[in-house]
């Protein structure tokens, strides 16, 4: 048993080492994704290209524009003469939003309670200006909408008068609110899902396509030996990827690793094994490598979208939550964010750990049962 | 050995009765009865698609039969496939070892899979490398070797665990004539050492080298026996016609019901006439005025053509 298992592992590792492309991908996939999500993809919206229709042309209007520019939320790049021209510009995609300052802007401003704190809200109180927004991009629209209650103290030459908030919010674990802190541990789940399922989903099919399977099933090798022999080398690959992601995350993006490395290792191992077995089960179903790839994508998409990597699990409808619960990535996402960001122990996340363990055992059993040492 | 106890007839390596395999509507192997004596080289001769490969896969336990029973090395195949796998060797039609592993790595992998371990394994690998002329290539990747070299490596791997019974599925389809000769020498060495060999082929000269053979067509076994027996009892007379205008003559002769086939070889036309025709020369005479007629010794190809009713040759 052990000699045969060792032989299969050695064989897989040698084949992997000779496959330059695959070997390169093991390193490049995590690096590329880290760069993409770390630098390119950012949900903190800044520098929205915007236009102005300034009908008041007063010193107040210029001061307001300056205050808005200083906030870096919008960049005023265009001036338009009328609301119609502004609408056309939004339709053409020239700008995402336009600030419309009416001719009576100055009058509206002095009547506004945010400008003159002594003034009570009255019939004369109206918004000082209007934003026209390309609402098709909800992220941009939400950013502009957040400007609705912008304080106007600065325009009144008053020192900023801190409004007493209803709630005080203390942000644990990520006080600067950088999204990359949440994304890097999440990327562990996404990258491992992608590479682990992909590697093993091709594993059995490839042997079949290259004709090696006919030789292999004519030998006394046992299905379980073959399945384990296909999984174990990639556990190593998975751990290499975990190391790359966390090191780059730590040194380039200053993402802290607060939890213990033993907890992290255990959580990663559980997830790697679960993903690999999922790939293996796919491999016993697919007839060609192309089919295996398609099935991998079929699992990968919900893993990215539903696992809580991009959108909060809590915001999903319950049907989507059920699907998410079935995916190993969701459970790992919870565990790894807990361990890396909140210094949680794997043991305190026992349910997720148990679920991954169960998934792996059942997966290996199904794969060995489904793999018949027969042709046709 | 417990062999004598489990085996009712230890002199028989394979016996099959009523072996049938269907793929949907296609019957790939139909009611095959087979007896392969131990220590012989037994051939399956037939055109592509006649069921040779399917028959071999059924006999190795890689395919489950739709009907029929097989006994291999004195043991019922059904239910004992795994136990028998360490006693048989199988060389697939298409090269099935790993292209991106070296010769030595492939051999070591196979040795480990069959549990040929430690010093015994290393000695066996050295022996095979030498026997099959692969010593200087042991670091070469298998995928970069020629057809003949790949075939020798495949044979080395199939025989590494010294199986009692060896299946070879069209082993020489990708190699040149010289390599084929050498390959058959190696098969006779194995046979002399006591290995039973079942080999499929569509080459007549290879079939003629077998101790016994079965001629297959459309999933049926049409005939079996030693090559000599087959030639003696083939049920047709072979007449060689020499002279000019053989193409037209062939057209005229092949429409005769008593003529099984007529095929040209150089300036001679080889005509097979059914035995039920009492006077074969007399039948042909009216068609071949100026031609010379001669009854000749049948070849294995003639046997094959007779068995298959001339559907595949000529």
pLDDT in tens, B24-35: 999 999 999 999
Q: CB contact, 8 Å: B109 with chain A?
A: yes
Cα dist. B14→B33, B38, B193, B206 in Å? 10, 8, 18, 21
Contacts of B57 in chain A (CB under 8 A): 375
Residues A60, A201, single domain; the answer is: no
A44 touches chain B (CB under 8 A): no
| A8, A19, A218: residue with CB nearest B60 | A218
* A52 and A143 assigned to the same domain: yes
Q: Where in chain B is the domain with CATH 3.30.70.100?
A: 235-297
Asked if the Cβ–Cβ distance from B97 to A10 is below 8 Å, we say: no
Q: Looking at the domain assignment, is residue A80 inside a domain?
A: yes
**Residue A56, in any domain of the structure:** yes
Contact predicate B248/B260, CB 8 Å = no
- Measured between CA atoms, how close is B92 to chain A, in angstroms? 7
Q: How far, CA to CA in Å, does A75 sit from each of A29, A48, A51? A: 34, 6, 8
Q: Do A4 and B115 touch (CB under 8 A)?
A: yes
A75-89, A354-368, B52-66, B299-313: the lowest-pLDDT one: B299-313
Residue B313 has pLDDT above 70, yes or no: no
Give which of A185, A288, A242 is closest to A26, Cα–Cα: A242
Instruction: Give how far B163 is from chain A: nearest CA, Å.
Output: 11
What's the pLDDT score for residue B312?
55
Query: What count of other Cβ atoms lies within 10 Å of the Cβ of residue A315?
Result: 9
User: Which of B202, B7, B56, B126 shows the shortest CA–CA distance to A218?
Assistant: B56
Q: What is the pLDDT of residue B38?
A: 94
Residue B3 has pLDDT above 70, yes or no: no
Whether residue B185 has pLDDT greater than 60: yes
Helix runs in chain A, H state only: 2-18, 20-35, 59-70, 83-92, 105-111, 138-145, 179-209, 212-217, 223-251, 261-285, 289-306, 318-326, 328-342, 350-370
pLDDT of residue A6: 94
Instruction: Quote the CA–CA distance of B42 and B247 in Å, as a whole number.
Output: 37
Is B100 in CB contact (< 8 Å) with chain A? Answer: yes
Whether residues A346 and A213 fall in one domain: yes
Digitized pLDDT (tens) for each residue of chain A, 376 residues in all: 788 999 999 999 999 989 888 888 889 989 998 888 877 766 677 889 999 999 988 888 898 898 888 888 899 999 999 999 999 999 998 999 999 999 998 888 888 877 776 767 777 778 889 999 998 888 888 888 888 888 777 777 766 555 677 888 888 888 777 778 888 888 889 999 988 998 888 888 889 888 899 999 999 999 899 989 989 999 999 999 999 998 998 898 888 888 888 888 899 999 999 999 999 999 989 989 999 999 999 999 999 899 988 888 888 999 999 999 999 999 999 998 888 888 887 777 889 999 999 999 999 889 888 888 777 6
Q: What is the pLDDT of residue B5?
A: 44
Output the pLDDT for position A160. Answer: 58
| B 254-313 residues inside an 8 A Cβ radius of A | none
* A374: contact with B, CB 8 A cutoff: yes
Mean pLDDT lowest among A252-261, A301-310, B41-50, B55-64 = A252-261
Give B210-230 pLDDT, tens digit per residue.
999 999 999 999 999 999 999
pLDDT exceeds 60 at position B158: yes
Q: A20 in contact with B at a CB cutoff of 8 Å? A: no
Whether B139 contacts chain A with CB within 8 A:
no
Query: Is residue A319 exposed (0-12), middle (13-18) or buried (19+ Cβ within 10 Å)?
Result: exposed
Query: CA-nearest residue of chain B to A376?
Result: B63
CB contact under 8 Å between A214 and B92, yes or no, is yes
- Whether A270 and A304 map to the same domain: the answer is yes
Tell me which residue in B62, B94, B105 faces A218 most closely, judged by beta carbons: B62
Domain with CATH 3.40.50.300 in chain B: 3-230
Of B198, B186, B117, B195, the residue nearest B163 (C-alpha): B195
pLDDT of residue B7 exceeding 60: no
Q: B residues 14-43 near A, CB within 8 Å? A: 23
Chain B residues whose CB is inside 8 A of the A215 CB are 90, 92, 96-97, 157
| Residues A187 and A100 occupy one common structural domain | no
Q: What is the dihedral of CA A255, A259, A263, A264, to 10 degrees?
A: 0
Domain end residue (candidates: A149, A165, A186):
A149
CA distances in angstroms from A374 to A217, B22, B53, B55, listed in the order given: 7, 15, 14, 14
Chain B hits for A214, CB-CB cut-off 8 Å, are 62, 92, 94, 96
Q: What pLDDT is stored for residue A137 in this prediction?
A: 85
CATH class of B3-230: alpha beta
Q: Are residues A262 and A232 in the same domain?
A: yes
| Beta pairing class for B212-217 and B236-242 | unpaired
CA distance A129 to A61: 10
Among A181, A238, A247, CA closest to A26: A238
Mutation site for A-interface testing, chosen from B90, B96, B120, B122 by largest number of A Cβ within 10 Å? B96
Sheet of B196-201: strand order equals B88-91, B165-169, B196-201, B41-45, B212-217, B220-225
Please count the residue pairs, one from chain A and one from chain B, whose beta carbons lie less than 8 angstroms apart.
75
Residue of B98, B118, B154, B170 to mutate when probing chain A, most A C-beta within 10 A: B98
Q: Does A296 lie in the same domain as A189? A: yes
- pLDDT score recorded for residue B10: 67
Q: Say which CATH class B235-297 falls into.
A: alpha beta
B81 contact residues in A (CB cutoff 8 A): 373
Check CB contact under 8 Å for B90 and A215: yes
Nearest neighbour of B94 by CB, restricted to A4, A10, A211: A211
Instruction: For residues A197 and B128, give the distance between their C-alpha atoms in angstroms, rounded to a whole number.
Output: 39
Q: How far is A280 from chain B (nearest CA, A)?
A: 20
pLDDT at B306: 86
- SS3 of A21, please? helix
Same domain, yes or no, for A74 and A15?
A: no
Domain count, chain A: 2
Q: What is the pLDDT of residue B1?
A: 40
Sign of the Cα torsion A292, A293, A296, A298 reads negative
Nearest CA in chain A to B97: A212
**Residues shown for chain B:** 314
Determine whether the interchain pair B113/A221 forms a contact, defined as Cβ–Cβ distance below 8 Å.
yes
Question: Rounded to an integer, what is the distance from CA A35 to the centroid of its chain?
Answer: 13
What contacts 24+ positions apart, CB below 8 Å, involve B209-213?
B209/B41, B209/B43, B209/B184, B210/B40, B210/B41, B210/B42, B210/B43, B211/B37, B211/B40, B211/B41, B211/B42, B212/B36, B212/B37, B212/B40, B212/B41, B212/B42, B212/B43, B213/B42, B213/B43, B213/B44, B213/B45
CA of B225 vs chain A CAs: smallest distance (Å): 28
Candidate from A4, A214, A374 with C-beta closest to B64: A374
Whether residue A77 sits in one domain with residue A17: no
Q: What is the pLDDT of residue B40?
A: 95
Domain end position, chosen among A133, A149, A165 = A149
pLDDT score recorded for residue A183: 84
- Give this complex's ipTM: 0.82
Residue B85 and residue A220: Cβ atoms within 8 Å?
yes
Instruction: Say how far apart CA B234 and CA A97 lie, in whole Å.
Output: 94
Question: Which H helix or E strand runs over A345?
Answer: none
B61 to chain A nearest CA, in Å? 8
pLDDT at B311: 62
| Residue A88's CATH number | 3.40.190
Q: Let me know: does A89 contact A95? Beta carbons within 8 Å.
A: yes
SS3 B150: helix
Residue A161 lies in a domain: no
Closest CA to A283 of A198, A182, A376: A198
Any A CB within 8 A of B229 CB:
no
The per-residue DSSP string of B58-110 comes to HHHTSS--SEEEEEETTEESTT-HHHHHTTEEEE-SS--S-TTSBHHHHHHHH
Q: How far is A226 from chain B (nearest CA, A)?
A: 10
Same structural domain for residues A123 and A260?
A: no
User: What pLDDT is attached to residue B309?
Assistant: 73
Alpha-helix residue ranges (DSSP H) falling in B210-245? 227-232
CA B222 to chain A, closest CA, distance in angstroms equals 26
Q: Does B95 touch chain A (CB under 8 A)?
A: yes
CB nearest B62 (choices: A3, A14, A217): A217
The residue of chain B with its CA nearest to that of A213 is B96
Instruction: HSE, CB side, 13 Å, CA atoms: give it for residue A51.
Output: 25
B147-159 vs B118-131: helix crossing angle, rounded to 10: 150
Residues of A in contact with B100 (CB under 8 A): 14-15, 18-19
Per-residue pLDDT at B139: 94
Give the residue from A149, A169, A196 where a domain finishes.
A149
Q: Which domain holds residue A97?
A: 48-149
B62: its two tokens: 């890689």
**Residue A18 sits at the chain B interface (C-beta within 8 Å):** yes
Residues in chain B within 8 Å Cβ distance of A213: 96
Shared domain for A27 and A89, answered yes or no, is no
A32 touching B (Cβ < 8 Å):
no
Nearest to B82 among A11, A211, A220 (CB): A220
Query: Mapping DSSP to helix (H, G, I), strand (E, B) and coil, where does residue A324 land?
Result: helix
Q: Is B220 on the interface with A (CB under 8 A)?
A: no
């Amino acid at each position: 048993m052990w000699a045969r298992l060792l032989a299969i592992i050695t064989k897989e590792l040698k084949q992997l080492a000779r496959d330059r492309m695959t070997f390169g991908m093991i390193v490049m996939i995590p690096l590329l994704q880290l760069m993409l999500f770390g630098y390119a993809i950012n949900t903190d919206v800044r520098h929205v290209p915007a236009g102005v229709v300034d009908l008041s042309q007063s010193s107040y209007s210029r001061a307001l524009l300056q205050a808005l520019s200083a906030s870096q939320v919008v960049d005023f790049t265009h001036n338009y003469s009328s609301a119609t021209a502004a609408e056309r510009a939004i339709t053409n995609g020239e700008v995402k939003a336009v600030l419309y300052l009416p001719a009576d802007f100055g009058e509206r401003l002095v009547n506004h309670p945010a400008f003159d704190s002594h003034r009570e809200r009255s019939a004369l109180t109206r918004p000082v200006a209007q934003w026209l927004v390309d609402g098709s991009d909800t992220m941009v629209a939400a950013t502009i909408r957040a400007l609705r209650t912008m304080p106007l103290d600065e325009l009144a030459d008053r020192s900023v008068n801190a409004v007493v908030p209803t709630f005080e919010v203390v942000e644990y674990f990520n006080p600067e609110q950088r999204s990359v802190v949440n994304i890097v541990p999440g990327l562990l789940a996404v990258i491992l899902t992608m590479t682990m399922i992909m590697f093993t989903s091709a594993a059995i099919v490839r042997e079949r396509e290259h004709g090696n399977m006919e030789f292999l099933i004519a030998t006394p090798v046992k299905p379980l030996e073959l399945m384990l022999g296909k999984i174990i080398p990639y556990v190593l690959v998975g751990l290499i990827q975990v190391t790359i992601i966390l090191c780059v995350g730590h040194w380039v993006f200053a993402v802290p690793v607060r939890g213990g490395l033993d907890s992290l290792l255990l959580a990663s191992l559980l997830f790697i094994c679960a993903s690999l077995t999922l790939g293996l089960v796919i491999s016993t179903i697919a007839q060609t490598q192309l089919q295996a790839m398609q099935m991998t994508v079929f699992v990968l998409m919900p893993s990215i979208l539903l696992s809580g990597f991009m959108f909060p699990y809590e915001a999903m409808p319950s049907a989507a939550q059920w699907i998410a619960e079935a995916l190993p990535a969701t459970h790992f996402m919870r565990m790894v964010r807990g361990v890396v960001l909140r210094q949680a122990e794997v043991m305190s996340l026992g349910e997720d750990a148990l679920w991954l363990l169960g998934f792996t055992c059942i997966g290996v059993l199904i794969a060995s049962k489904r793999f018949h040492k027969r042709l046709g | 050995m417990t062999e004598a106890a489990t085996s009712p007839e230890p002199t028989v390596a394979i016996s099959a009765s009523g072996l049938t395999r269907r793929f949907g509507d296609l019957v790939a192997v139909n009611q095959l009865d087979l007896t392969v004596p131990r220590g012989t080289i037994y051939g399956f001769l037939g055109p592509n698609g006649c069921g040779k490969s399917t028959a071999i896969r059924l006999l190795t336990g890689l395919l489950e039969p739709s009907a029929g029973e097989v006994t291999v090395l004195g043991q019922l195949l059904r239910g004992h496939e795994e136990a028998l796998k360490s006693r048989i060797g199988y060389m697939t039609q298409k090269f099935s070892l790993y292209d991106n592993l070296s010769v030595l790595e492939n051999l070591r992998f196979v040795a480990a899979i069959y549990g040929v371990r430690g010093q015994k394994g290393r000695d066996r690998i050295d022996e095979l490398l030498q026997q099959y002329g692969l010593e200087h290539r042991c670091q070469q990747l298998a995928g970069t070797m020629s057809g003949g070299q790949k075939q020798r490596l495949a044979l080395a791997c199939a025989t590494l665990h010294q199986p009692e019974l060896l299946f070879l599925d069209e082993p020489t389809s990708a190699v040149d004539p010289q390599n084929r000769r050498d390959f058959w020498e190696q098969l006779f060495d194995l046979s002399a050492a006591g290995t039973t060999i079942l080999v499929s082929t569509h080459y007549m000269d290879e079939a003629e080298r077998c101790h016994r053979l079965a001629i297959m067509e459309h999933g049926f076994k049409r005939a079996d026996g030693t090559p000599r027996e087959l030639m003696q009892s083939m049920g047709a007379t072979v007449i060689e016609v020499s002279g000019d205008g053989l193409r037209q003559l062939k057209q005229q002769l092949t429409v005769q019901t008593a003529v099984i086939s007529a095929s040209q070889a150089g300036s001679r036309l080889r005509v097979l006439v059914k035995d039920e025709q009492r006077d074969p020369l007399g039948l042909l005479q009216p068609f071949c005025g100026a031609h010379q007629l001669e009854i000749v010794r049948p070849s294995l190809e003639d046997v094959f053509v007779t068995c298959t009713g001339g559907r595949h040759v000529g």
